[in-house]
Structure formats: structure tokens, C-alpha cells
Amino acid sequence: MTSRSKNAVRIYETEIDKSREESNWKKVVDLAQQLKARSPQHESLAHFLIGEGKLEAFLEEWPPTKENIERAQRELSEARGYLTLATDDAGKRAGVALDAHLLLGKLNYACGAYDDALKHYKLAELNTLTEKELPVRSIRIVAESYAIKGLCLEENAVPGSTSRYKQAEKEAETIRSFELASDLTLLYLQRAQAAGARAGPTLETALQRVPILHIRAGRLQNAIDRYRSMLTAVESASTQALRLTLTRQLAEVLMRGVTGQVYKAPVQLTVVPQQGTLTRRREDHVSEGPWKPKKYAGINQFVPRNEYEEVVLLLLVGEAMAVRDAVLSQSAEFEAARKHSLENAVAVIDLLALAAARWGQLCLVLESLERAMKFSFGCAHVWRQRALATAAAAPANPRPLHHEHLVPGSNAWSAGIRAHSVMKRATPLSPDDAPLRLVAANTCYNMGWIEDGIVLAEEALALQERDEGPLLARACLYAGIGHQMKAQKTNSRIEKESENETSLKLLLRSVQIDDNDHLAFYYLALQYMYLGMLNEAMDATRSCLAARAECGGGLRLATALWSCACAGPRATRALAAARLARHHYPTADWPLWALAALQLTWESGEAALATGKELLTLLNGAEAEAEADAEHNGYTELDALSDSQHADTHSNRDAASIRAESAGVYRVERALSDAASSAATTRARHRPRAQPRAQAWLLLADLCLRLGRVSAAAGCVSEAAALTPFSHLVLYTRGRVHAASGEWEEARTCFQNALAIHPTHLDSIVQLGAAYYNLGWLRLAEKSLREAAALEPSRADTWRRLSLVLAALGECGAAADAAAAALHLQPHAPSVPHHHLPL
Amino acid sequence: MSEWKQLISEWIAEYSSLQENEIKSFAAEHEHNHEIATALFNLFYCEEETEVNSHSKNPPENSEEMLDQVCTQLFSFYRSKEVELQRFTLQFVPTLIYNYLSSVARGNLKSCRCIETLLIGLYNFEVVDENGKPKVVSFRLPSLAQPSIYHEPLSLGPQFLTENALRRWEECNTKLVSWGPLSQVEVINAQNRLKVMSALYFIYNRQLSLLPKLALRHFCIAASRIVTQGFHKKIGGNKSTPRIPVSPNFLLEMIEGAYFAMFNEFYTLALQAVKDIDKRAQYELFPEVMLVTSAVINSLKNNSSGQPCDGPMGISVALSPATTTVTMSKSMITNASFRTKKLPGKMYIHILIFFTCNLPGFSLSYSVFL
């Protein structure tokens, strides 16, 4: 042979190798035919290549599945011929016979001849192949051979139930084949990175099959180990989709099968520094053998220690992969791919929601859902989930003057804004979703956006009416709550009346549809109380407590109602209700407030003082607890809605101090204390729960005042002032202390200061009137009291004082009218002093 | 009916006559004693039914007495050092919780005092470790910014190196996500009742994979009953049963167990339980619970996730779709091949969109002026 032709052969060989690696089978066949023509001594090689090319070209179009068996039998005879030719003695000498047998195995598998395939693998000595470095194409052939061997063994396992031992042996063999196949596949995909290689259905099946076989046989740990060993292999461009599937599957297996003690944490690969290399640099990827894929081995790796860590890690990694591969193209040709990628991402996010919500880690879910916005294009589920997650992050119950304030700019405020704006997008996407709208309405109510809330609740009501849905009663209830809040908020009489009427109608309808809903009865009772219909309110409260005996709100209402003046001697029942509430909710503060106030009137002052002190201890002790609670975002303290949505359940007064105004009060107070604290640095201004503790001191001050211990009261006020120096309540109580010792000038200043902070604080207005009266400034007194009466006409005390003032002015007729009004209203006045109730 | 009562009496007698050294073998054979477990489940359900007909003439005295004895024995199982016996007791917890909550809601506290005592006992036993210190179950929150055995941050693309991810990495070892520490309780009242019950569910959920399968069945039944009691009016009955109060965490723990049961032989019952929980969450307006229930329900519809019918644990071979051929993926824009960049400008916002294609050396870049 001339050197020229030798060269030519070499060129052919490199060309062919390149084409084989690129899976360019047509070119391989062409080149092999040319090779065969030019150099007859390479005939076996050429035969092998032609057979290979034809086989692979066919399988690329018709993958080896059951449906394609017949076609394969028809069309693969040519390839079979060539490959069989390559297995003869010449082929053995040329070193292609074994490879040809491997391919014949694959061919037979495609034709459905599983036994023949296994025979060829035996001839190819597949079992005894040594693990050594192989060229890329050979890795694939060997990998496929193992995969197909496993698949054939599985196919044959069905009828042959000879002996248990044999079957177990066969199963072990199957799994070993699949395991080798999957390692080799990953290795192949890592090596063949540049060529854009794909694993193909056979190899992918082998990869995913192993863990399933383990699970089926009850060897969960082996399955998990297998998943781990596949997932710790370094990612390459062509393993991305596969890794996403495996990641999700491992997370699923862990969530569905592994809890607590069963779990075994993965071990980190110990990296053995390579001998003889000059560089000391640590490798980021290591391989355990020539047939093993490279694995992650960077320094400072996160290695899960328990199932929660591993599940969350897997889901986060999975979500990141799903998001990375998400299809953004909107055109129709990519619709299927887009849908598939979206489903992949949503599947992972759903699992993440399940795994994270339980631990209060909604932020993780929210982040994922926000990333999904980029490619989910109006997917109702994703938007709904996001709306729910943001709603869960929004402030749960409005306690305007308690913990955190809903002032623009605060975290709670922006969370509320976010929930609302996401909800605005999400609701149109789920046009029939009433619960979602109710959640939205609730968020609005909590944020104080009553009108928006009413709109949403009424939408939900309309939907439920149309579908006769199970939430009809609740939709009525939430719409009713909205109107009730609006009635409380507005200062316009006409609007107030119409809102009250709508609310009452809705609430009545709600309890009519569902007579087992304590919350509906509670709000109905509240509504009756606002309207001054105390007997009806009592009936509704009874129904509320019948539906839920321990309902905090119901007990509170019962306490308030029994304590009303018209209840007369039955006030012991109020005491009993307060004590019962105390028993059910031992660490809540409101039963003690009520109890102290009631004891003062109906038992002894000493008992009331004792209760007040108890309250103070409770609040001081609660401090640590509340902090601990807040940290692992624990449970809502009481029945969330019924007890906190309307914190001032007692009063039919003070409707004037609406939410917006109390927020304003807060801001003024805050600004004042900020200014003060810049001067006096030791001021404990951001102490937790300073507010309720200050109010407890004020309660004590009030009790002392009523018992005539003025100096003790002054001490209590200064304690409260140390906690919240610029609270209008502190100033108001200080004014009352001054008034009690007859220092009317000082008292007047105090009340005026209180009103400067909270212009509609009713008690301060009335007391200011009293101060003017005692100072002899009768016209000013009348003006103050008339102002108070305009703000809250149903308060008896105002009219009583007004009649005194008017009498002193000599306007007897007007005085008589005012006195009559006072007499008329007196039965409704609760003896529980409300100004100490936390707002 | 009397058959299982007989069985229970024998079981009580057998245990009380055990010698110290026999307990181990007793425990070993006990764990999978379905007969006695079934008998006990019967007792708890029967207990509940007699409550419904509490006006019936002869109150089953001996049944109540038996319940008392059973509770005592279950608690002494729990206090024994044998894990098998502890697990045996644990399998009844959801049913007991249902029984207890249902009685409380009906205002029938007297009848369930012994169950209450048992539950308090279990709770107090579990919230502290061997040394009497409060128990904490905690884990580190992984961050994608830190390399792990499953990924490298850079290969996921820069969009995951967010501020949050980096912060989480920083706090990874210091700020743990945890359950507990919980304080022991002396009495259960309205305020702590659901906290205690959620904690018990949490404890139960940690053992899910070790419990006998039968227990999962009763878990689902109990879960459904807890959330639906008082919602369906009985025909003819004029007085409806009070509903059982629930809290978000309580329901979340319940979903956890139901999800597990769904993939461990009790698909139908567990799915029903999740749907019931979903309805209840909507009724109570618990957005976080609705989030999880709809995630679970959606994942059962979504073909991408493993379905219960797909084989063991719902895991099946999911091949990547053949549609994404190489030619197609070249022109398809995915998140990975899409970049936006905002450049500062007074008049225009320049948005540069790079379509980087999969082939190396072949990349187009457009710049669009908006």
C-alpha cells in the first residue's frame, strides 16, 4: 500500500470518528462505503460502520419502542446483514466483532427479540468488560448495551418464575446493568458536551428505572442513594432536563417515604488529592473511576444533614433549573415546549409550597412564584398561589394601637399593598373563585381599605349566589363586616344609617343560611350592640356561644352586655363571663381589664386592684413570651377574626375615633417621642409591648382614682408616662388626677394636650367640658360637651354633664332636654370603662 | 361487638401481668398486632358514637371504664423505653385528637378527661429531650449561592445569586428554621389547645414512615372528620353539632400527613382529606393553608409531577419530550438565553437583548431602542 493511500485511510478514519461523535450517520455510511471501496483490508471495519450507521439512523427516527417493533423488523435487515458480517473472523481480527455484537444486541432489542439481544451481549463478553478509559462513542455503545440488557432482562422476567433465588439473581443483574448504564450515560453526556448530545429514550429509561426498581422492592435507602449518586454528578448541557426530573423525584421520594429516624444523610465525597500532579489546586470535580461520571467536590459545600435540608435544597435547585429552562417564546410552534417547561416549574413550586409552608418559610415560596411570573403568562394557578402567599404575608389582624403599626412605609403596610395589587391581577384570571376574593376582601379590611374590601366581598357574594356555593353564608358575613366597618368609620349620619341597615341585613341572611357559624352570630351581636338593640345582641351572643362555647369574642360581648346598666342586678353574670374568659384564655389581657372594671363596681375596690396588679404581671411576663412567639411566627393567639378584627368590642362610643385618625395619633405620638428621645437617650421608647403595659398602669390609676387614692393614682400615671410619654391616654389620665385633687387649671391643660394629639378623643372632650364647668367657663364647657354629643350622640354621660352646664347657664328647657336624653341613654351605658380597653 | 371488647380486656390483663424482662418480647410482637390495633380503633370510634346519642338510656359504663384503662395503658407504653410500644401508642394519636376535640366542641369535657390526660402526657413527654431540656427540631435553610453536593451556583445562572440568596448563605449556620422549644403544659385551655394538638401532629408526622399502614387510614378519616364536623346537617336532627376550631398550623401539619398517606396506599381517603381541609381553609380564610392545599391538588393534576397511580410512591420514568429537537431549540428563547440590561440614559431606556444560541461562536445580538 502506498503511503498516500495510508494517509487517505487515516483521513477517512478521523472524518468517520468525528461524524460518529456528532451522530451524523448519513456521512458515516457514505465515508464507510468509500473506505470499503478504497481499502479492502478495512472491509470488516467498513461493514461495521455501515451497519452502525444504518441502525442508528433508523433508530433516530424510530426509537426502540414496542410500537416500532414491526417496522424495525422490516427495515433493519440490511443493517443486521452488515453487522453480522463484521462479527466473522476477519472482524475479530480487526477488533470490531465485539462492538458489532453490542450493536446487534441493540438491533435485536429494537426488533423485539429480547433473548437474541441477550445472546449477543454474552458473545460480546459484556459482563467481563474491564473498566478503562473509552472513546466517547464507545462509552455510549457500552452504556446502551447495559441499558438494553437490563430492559431485556426485565422483559423476560415476566413469565419465567422458576425459583425465588433465580429471580432475585436476575433482579440483581438487571439493577447492576442499569446502574452501570446510568453511570456511563452521565459520563457520556459529560464528555460529549460540545456535540450537543442527547441521551435518548433508552438511556433515560435506564437512568430513571433503577431507583424505581429499588422502591418497588422496598429498598428505599438504595433508591435514595442511587438518586443521590446521579444528582451529585456534574451537570452538563445535555443532562439538564434529566437532572430536573431526578431532582424532583428525589424530593418526592423523601417527602413521601422518609421521615425522622429513617433518614440517612448523604456523605460528602472525600477528595483524594491526585498523586504526582504539580498543582496543589483542589479540583472542583472529581471522578471515582474511569466509568464513573465526575462529581461535585468543591470546598465549602452544603451537605444536607436531615431530610428537611435535603428536600428544601433539592426543591430550590430543581426550581432554579426549571426556571432556567423555562421557555419564553410565545409563538405557537413552541407551545408544547412552553407548556412542558411551565408544568415542570409549577410541579417543583407546588412541592416547595408543601415543604416550606409548614415551617413558616413562605418567603421561599413567594420568591419562587415571583420568578415564575416571568414565564407563566397569565397562568391562573401561579397567580392564585402568589396572591395567597402575599395575602399570608400581609398583616393578619388590625390592632391599630398595639404591636406594629400600619403606617405607610412600614413593612406591614408594604406587605398589604403588595397583597392587594397581586390580588387585583389574580382575581380576573380565576373568574369563578369566590374564596380568593374573600381572602382579598379580608386583606383590605385588615389594611383599613374598607370600600375596596366591600367590592371584593360583594363580588364573591354574587359568585356564590350564582353557583349556590358552600361559602354563601360566609360571603354574606364578609360583606356584612365590611358595611359594619364602614358604618363605624363614617361620621355622616345618613351614610351611617344606610350602612348599618345593609350590614344588619347581610348578617341576618348569613346566620339564616348557616345557623352554626359562631363568627356570623358574633358580628350580628356586635351590630345589634352598635344599634343599641341590647336584647337582640344578647340573643345573638348566646347563639354564638352555643356554636362555639369558647369563642373569645362571644365571651367578651357577653361580659359587656351583662355589665350594661340595664342589666341591673344581673351583673354577677358579667363577672362570671369575664372569669370564664379568663379561664379559657389565661394569657390574654382583655378578660382582666374587664374583670378589674367590673369588680370595682360590683365587688370591692381591693379585689379590682388585685386584678389590675395581676394584669400588670401578666403583661410583664408576656413580654418574653410574645417575643419568642413572634420569632417562630407562631399561631394567632385567639380566634383570629372574632377577637381582633374589632378590638374595641365593648363600646358603642368612640366610633368617632376612626382608624385613620388613630393612625394619625400614632404618628404624632411617635414624632414627639422621637424628638424627645434625641435629647434623652435612655428613653425606652421602642420597648416591646410598652403600649399595653402603659395602659395597664393607666387602668390601675383609674382604679385608684375611683377608690379616692389620688397620690397612688399619680404614681401609676407617672409609671405609664415613663413607658409612653406622649400618649393621649396618659395625658388624659393625668388630667383626671389633677381634677380629682381640684387642680382644674392643670387638668384643663392636660385635657387640651391630650386633644392636641388625638382631636376626637371623646373622654378628653367630655372631661375638658367638666374642667371648664368647674373653672366657671360655662360657654366653653357647653361648646365642648356639644362637640362631644355631636361626635357620639348615644353617650349618656355627655348629656348628663351638658344638662348641668345648661342648668348653670339658666337655660332650663335645654337642660331638661339634655337630662332626658341622659336618662334615656343611661341603660345602655356599659359599666366597664372603655377608655382603658386597648383600641 | 363484644368480641373486640373481649380482646381489649385480655390485652390489658396481659400487659399488667408482664414481668420486667418480658416487656421486650411483648413489645417486639406488639408492633404489628393489627387485631388489637383494630379493636382499639373500634373502641375510640364507638366512644364517639355513644356521645352523639348521649341521651340513650343506659350509658355504657364499662366502655368508659375501659377507655380509661386503655388510655392509662397507652401512656405507660409511651413511657416505657421500648420504641415499638411508643409507636404503638402514637398510631392512635390522630384518632384520639379527633375524639377529644369533638368532645370539647360538644361541651362534653367530662367524657374525654382520660384522653386529655393522655394527650397532655404525650405532649409533655415529647417537648423535652432525655435531659429534660426543651426539644428543638431545627434545620439550616440552604441557599443557592452556596455550592452544594447537587449544584454549583454559577451553572444556574446569575439570576439566582440574589440578595436574598446571599443573605441566606450568610445566615445559613446561625439562623436555623426550627420547631420548638415548646413549654410543657399543665392544663389545656382554649388558648393553648390547638398549639398542643399541632405539636402532637408534628410529633406523629415525624414517625409517619415507621407507623403501620393501617394507622394512615385512620389518620385520613380523623382528619376529614375534624375539619368537616358540624358542616353537614344531619337530616332530621334539629340541633347541629358544633364545629371544631382549627388553626393554620394545625391544618398544615394535617396536610403533611395526608400527603404522605396519599402515596402510601390510601390515595382516595387522603385526597378526600386534603379536599376537606381545602374547603375548611377557604371557609376560615387561611391563605397559607389554601396555598398548600391547592399546591397539593394541583400537583395531582399536573402531569409533570409523580402521580399516585404512577407506580410505587408515584415515581415513574419521565422521559424528556422528543419535541425539543436541536433545530427547534436554537430559535426558542428560554430564560437562560434571555438577558435584559438597563443602561442609564436620560431620553431613552436602552434595552439590550442578547439571544445567545446554543452553538458556540454563533450568537446574535440585537439592541432595541424603546
Asked if the structure places residue A500 within a domain, the reply is no
Print the SS3 string covering A344-378. Answer: HHHHHHHHHHHHHHCCCCHHHHHHHHHHHHHHHCC
Mean of per-residue pLDDT scores for chain A? 81
**Residue ranges making up the domain that contains A741:** 659-677+685-836
CATH number of the domain within which A98 lies: 1.25.40
- Tens of pLDDT, residues A324-335: 888 888 888 888
Q: Does A548 touch chain B (CB under 8 A)?
A: yes
Residues of A in contact with B139 (CB under 8 A): 305-306, 308-309, 312
Type of residue numbered B275 = K
Q: Do the domain assignments include residue A439?
A: no
- Taking CB atoms and an 8 Å limit, are B144 and A320 in contact across chains? yes
Residues A778-798: pLDDT tens digits? 999 999 999 888 887 878 888
Say what the pLDDT of residue B284 is: 92
Query: For residues A726 and A5, which has the higher predicted lDDT (pLDDT)?
Result: A726
Q: Which of A193, A271, A324 to mutate to test the interface with B (most CBs of B within 10 A)?
A: A324
Interface with chain B: mutation pick from A259, A331, A367, A439, highest number of B CBs within 10 Å: A259
Measured in angstroms, the CA of A257 and the nearest CA of chain B are apart by 6
Strand partners, A295: A233, A286
In this predicted structure, what is the pLDDT of residue A294? Answer: 87
Model pLDDT, residue A352? 95
Mean pLDDT of B182-186: 89
pLDDT at A394 over 90: no
Residue A162's pLDDT band (cuts 50, 70, 90): low
CB neighbours of residue B167 within 10 Å: 13
Angle between helices B93-105 and B213-228 (to 10 degrees): 20
> Above 50 in pLDDT, residue B355?
no
Tell me what percent of the residues of chain A surpass a pLDDT of 90. Answer: 31
Query: Is A636 within 8 Å of chain B by CB?
Result: yes
Cell of A732: 388624659
Its ipTM equals 0.88
Span B116-130, average pLDDT: 92
Listing DSSP states for A379-418 in one string gives -HHHHHHHHHHHHHHS-SS--TTSSS---TTSHHHHHHHH
Interface of A with B in 228-257 (CB under 8 A): 228, 231-232, 234-235, 237, 241-242, 245, 247-249, 252-253, 255-257
Cβ–Cβ contact B2 with A under 8 A: no
pLDDT digits (tens, 9 = 90+) for A191-231: 876 556 777 888 888 888 888 889 888 888 999 999 999 99
A669-683, A765-779, B309-323 — which is least confidently predicted? A669-683
Fill in the DSSP letter of residue A478. H
Q: Is A169 contained in some domain?
A: yes
What is the per-residue pLDDT for B224?
95
- Would you state the pLDDT for residue A686? 47
Mutate to test the interface with A, among B102, B241, B285 (most CBs of A within 10 A): B285
Q: Domain ranges for chain B, please list them.
A: 2-132+189-233+242-314, 334-369
CATH number (domain holding residue A740): 1.25.40.10
More confident residue, A558 or B117: B117
Would residue A292 count as lying in a domain? no
Q: What is the pLDDT of residues B129-177, one digit of tens each?
A: 888 888 999 999 999 888 899 998 888 877 777 788 888 888 888 888 8
Q: How far is it, in rounded angstroms, from Cα A121 to Cα A140? A: 15
pLDDT in tens, A100-110: 999 999 999 99
Would you state the pLDDT for residue B52?
A: 53
pLDDT confidence of A158, banded at 50, 70, 90?
low
Question: Which range, of A371-375, A633-637, B159-163, B210-214, averages the lowest pLDDT?
Answer: A633-637
- A chain contacts of residue B307, beta-carbon cutoff 8 Å: none
| Per-residue pLDDT band at A475 (split at 50, 70, 90) | very high
- Candidate from B208, B285, B332 with C-beta closest to A327: B332
Burial (Cβ within 10 Å: 0-12, 13-18, ≥19) of residue B58: exposed
Average confidence (pLDDT) over A381-389? 95
Q: How far is B5 from chain A (nearest CA, A)?
A: 34
Identify the H or E element spanning A226: helix A220-231
Residue A654 lies in a domain: no
B residues 286..315 contacting A (CB < 8 A) = 287-292, 294-296, 298-299, 302-306, 311-315
Judge whether residue B197 has pLDDT over 90.
yes
Higher pLDDT, A171 or B50: A171
- Tell me what pLDDT residue A640 has: 31
Q: Give residue B343's pLDDT band: very low, low, confident or very high (50, 70, 90).
A: very low
Question: Which residues, 6 or more positions from A435, have their beta carbon under 8 angstroms from its beta carbon?
Answer: A460, A471, B282, B285, B290
Contact call for B206 and A354, based on CB within 8 A: no
pLDDT, tens digit, for every residue of A415-432? 889 999 999 999 999 999
Residues A359-375 have a mean pLDDT of: 90
> Which residues in chain A have their CB less than 8 angstroms from residue B142's CB?
302, 304, 309, 312-313, 316
Q: Which of A132-146, A392-406, A466-480, B47-61 has the lowest mean pLDDT?
A: B47-61
Residue A588, C-alpha cell as written in the block: 390574654
Contact B177 A635 (CB under 8 A): no
pLDDT band with cut points at 50, 70 and 90 for residue A501: very high
B156 contact residues in A (CB cutoff 8 A): 317, 320-321, 324
Tell if the CB–CB gap between A329 and B248 is shorter than 8 Å.
Answer: no
pLDDT of residue B365: 38
State CA A326 to chain mean position distance: 23
Cα–Cα distance for residue pair A313/A307, rounded to 1 Å: 10
Q: What mean pLDDT is predicted for residues A387-400? A: 78
Question: Is residue A318 in some structural domain?
Answer: no
Q: Please report the pLDDT score of residue B350 as a whole number.
A: 36
Residue A717's identity, in one-letter code, is V
Average pLDDT over residues A715-739: 88
Query: How many domains would you assign to chain A?
Result: 2
- Greatest alpha-carbon pair distance for chain B in Å reads 91
**A599 versus A475: which is more confidently predicted?**
A475
A373: contact with B, CB 8 A cutoff: no
Strand pairing of B350-356 and B342-343? Answer: antiparallel
Which residues of chain B from 184 to 223 reach within 8 Å of chain A, CB to CB? 189-191, 194-195, 198, 205-210
What pLDDT score does A366 carry?
92
Rg of chain B (C-alpha set): 27
Contacts for A790-795: CB closer than 8 Å, 24+ residues apart: A791/A491, A791/A656, A791/A760, A791/A762, A791/A765, A792/A653, A792/A654, A792/A655, A792/A656, A792/A762, A794/A532, A794/A652, A794/A653, A794/A825, A794/A828, A795/A653, A795/A762, A795/A766, A795/A825, A795/A829
Distance CA A506, CA A122 (A): 81
Determine, yes or no, domain membership for A813.
Answer: yes
More confident of the two residues A565 and B192: B192
Dump pLDDT digits (tens) for B66-101.
888 899 989 988 888 888 888 889 999 999 999 999
- B219-247: pLDDT as tens digits: 999 999 999 998 887 666 667 789 999 99
Q: What pLDDT sits at residue A630?
A: 39
Average pLDDT of the residues of chain B: 80
Give the A:B interface size as CB pairs under 8 Å. Answer: 318
CB-hemisphere CA count at 13 Å for A622?
19
pLDDT of residue A65: 83
Of A201, A222, A248, the domain-final residue: A248
Q: What is the pairing mode between strands B363-369 and B350-356?
A: antiparallel
* Per-residue pLDDT at B202: 94
A41 CB contacts (<8 Å, ≥6 apart)?
none
Contacts of A520 (CB under 8 A, 6+ apart): A473, A474, A476, A477, A480, A507, A510, A511, A514
Kindly tell me if the per-residue pLDDT of A174 is higher than 70: yes
H-helix or E-strand spanning residue A286: strand A285-287
Contact flag B209-A257 (C-beta cutoff 8 Å): yes
Question: Residues A734-737: contacts with CB within 8 Å, 24+ apart?
Answer: A735/A764, A735/A767, A735/A771, A736/A702, A736/A705, A736/A767, A737/A701, A737/A705, A737/A710, A737/A713
- Whether residue A184 is predicted with pLDDT greater than 50 in this model: the reply is yes
Does residue B260 belong to the interface with chain A, where contact is any CB pair within 8 Å?
yes
Residue A202 lies in a domain: yes
Q: Residues B284-329: pLDDT tens digits?
A: 999 999 999 999 999 988 766 667 776 667 777 776 655 444 445 5
A722: nearest Cα among A669, A680, A667, A685:
A685
Facing residue for B240 by CB, picked from A334, A384, A515: A515
A60 pLDDT exceeds 50?
yes
Largest CA-CA distance found in chain A, in angstroms, rounded: 140
Q: Which three cell numbers stand for residue A749?
A: 391643660
Chain B contact for A708, CB < 8 A? Answer: no
Q: Is the pLDDT score of A160 beyond 70?
A: no
Judged by average pLDDT, the poorest of A247-251, A314-318, B49-53, B116-120 is B49-53
Question: Could you say which DSSP state residue A267 is in?
Answer: P
Higher pLDDT, B137 or A724: B137
Closest CA of chain A from B59, distance in Å? 24
Q: What does the pLDDT read at residue A436?
A: 95
